[in-house]
Amino acid sequence: MPANVNKVLGHKELKQQNLYRALAAECLGTLLLNFFGVISCVKTSPLKNDLVEVSLTFGLVVFAVVQVFGHVSGAHVNPAVTVGMLATGKTPVIRGILYIIAQSVGAIIGTGLVKAVTPESFTEVLGNTKLTAKGITTAQGFGVEFLLGFVLVLVVFAVCDPNRPECKYAAPLAIGLTVALGHLATIDYTGSSMNPARSLGSAVLTSDFEHHWVYWLGPCAGGMAAGLLYTFVFAAPVPTQSQTTYTVVSTSDKEVKLHMKRLDDEP
């Protein structure tokens, strides 16, 4: 089989232990995302279920999960992110498919744990994402979820750009804040899924799949569009050799600036 086909499919990874570590990370990461996110949506008292509370919970748990599992699997924990990576060739096909399966399983287990620890009288709705705005159509819901997936994946690609190493340490926070932003803005429209696996967990545990396709097609289409746009239009250029060499050994921004100034002063 040609080498480029092997690279695209990634079937040789099936023999590597790192793939299964990554799948475990995706499953556990999405489990944690759904557990903490969904439990914040369960209205157990009149004071519970506040918009800001839910938005911050989703943003903070994504921040934590990306911080913990980023070095293991990339911490996609979202099929929309994985689809964006697949569309741009950053993730092999087989790994991408297995990621989405692991994310879906993790989301179902995470929501199941919420149901297990919640009194039965409060489990009728377990963070279900619905077209909640009065009169909103499925096309409008699709548009909202498309843009949510788009902005999330655009941020993921930007902070993970290998030619922008200065963004590396801010990545978990930037991604978490983007998730919080999406929830603050659109919970009253679609429930602000941004994540097909997150919606799947709630749908399975409540057997409610109304308009469920919106929460898969919208974010995934948006994620694909964002990944392609960033890769082919907005990606940072490869640094020059002098910049690359120095950045590797540099220990502070001040040193980098002094070095670049010396380069500019050279005849």
250 and 170 inside one domain: no
Q: With the CA atoms of 153, 133, 137 and 34 taken in that order, what torsion angle do they form, in degrees rounded to the nearest 10?
A: 40
102 and 129 inside one domain: yes
> Could you give the CA distance from residue 67 to residue 171 in angstroms, rounded to a whole number?
8
123 and 194 inside one domain: yes
Chain segment 49-103, per-residue pLDDT in tens: 689 999 999 999 999 999 999 999 999 999 999 999 999 999 999 999 999 999 9
Per-residue pLDDT, 102:
99
207 and 249 inside one domain: no
198 and 255 inside one domain: no
90 and 218 inside one domain: yes
Per-residue pLDDT, 261:
57
Lowest mean pLDDT of 39-53, 167-181, 215-229, name the range.
Answer: 39-53
Taking the model in full, what pTM does it have? 0.87
Domain count, the chain: 2
CATH code, domain carrying 232? 1.20.1080.10
202 and 260 inside one domain: no
Per-residue pLDDT, 132:
83
96 and 165 inside one domain: yes
247 pLDDT more than 50: no
DSSP structure string for 54-85: HHHHHHHHHHHHHHHHHHHH----SHHHHHHH
Distance of CA 216 to the CA centre of its chain: 13
pLDDT level of residue 239 (50, 70, 90 thresholds): confident
Q: Which residues span the domain enclosing 103?
A: 3-236
Chain segment 22-54, per-residue pLDDT in tens: 999 999 999 999 999 999 999 877 666 689 999
215 pLDDT more than 50: yes
246 and 122 inside one domain: no
263 and 133 inside one domain: no
Percent of the chain residues past pLDDT 70, beyond the cut: 87
Chain segment 116-144, per-residue pLDDT in tens: 999 988 888 899 999 987 889 999 999 99
Distance of CA 121 to the CA centre of its chain: 32
169 and 244 inside one domain: no
